[in-house]
């Protein structure tokens, strides 16, 4: 059974809550592409590195998400406030294919006191 983008996104949120990068990357296709402020990362290993860095920058953060779905694409505005840093302007775009995340772009400004 193929999952909808909404189902994948809900599952992705649960996996992010665990902090387990192997589990998190399981929602991505093997040949996924993650475009970050630092460059293009490819495959599940690249996804793990990119998400791992973001989670390391924002440990124990409180996240606010505003998702908007349209035709297999998710546009996500987000913010996060952690004990050592915050993001006020996060924007991700996810492209879904065959029940997995095929591509993601991420843009944010990390603010540290």
Q: What is the pLDDT of residues 27-81, one digit of tens each?
A: 999 999 999 988 999 999 999 999 999 999 999 999 999 999 999 999 999 999 9
Q: Which secondary structure element, helix H or strand E, spans residue 88, and what is its range?
A: strand 86-97
CA 101 to chain centre: 10
Give the pLDDT confidence score for residue 19 in this predicted structure: 87
Two structure tokens written together for 101: 């995340």
d(CA 110, CA 23): 25
pLDDT surpassing 80 at residue 1: no
d(CA 9, CA 4): 9
d(CA 78, CA 90): 5
Q: What is the pTM of this model?
A: 0.90
Cβ atoms 92, 105 nearer than 8 A: yes
In 3D space, the residue among 100, 107, 95, 89 whose CA is nearest the CA of residue 7 turns out to be 100
- Summary mean pLDDT of the chain: 93
């Amino acid at each position: 059974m193929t999952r909808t983008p909404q189902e994948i996104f809900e599952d992705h949120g649960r996996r992010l809550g665990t902090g387990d990068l192997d589990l998190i990357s399981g929602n991505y296709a093997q040949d996924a592409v993650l475009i970050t402020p630092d460059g293009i990362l490819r495959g599940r290993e690249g996804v793990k590195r990119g998400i791992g860095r973001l989670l390391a920058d924002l440990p124990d953060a409180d996240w606010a998400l505003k998702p908007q779905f349209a035709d297999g694409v998710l546009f996500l505005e987000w913010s996060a406030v952690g004990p050592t840093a915050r993001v006020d302007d996060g924007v991700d775009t996810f492209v879904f294919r065959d029940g997995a995340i095929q591509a993601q772009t991420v843009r944010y400004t990390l603010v540290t006191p």
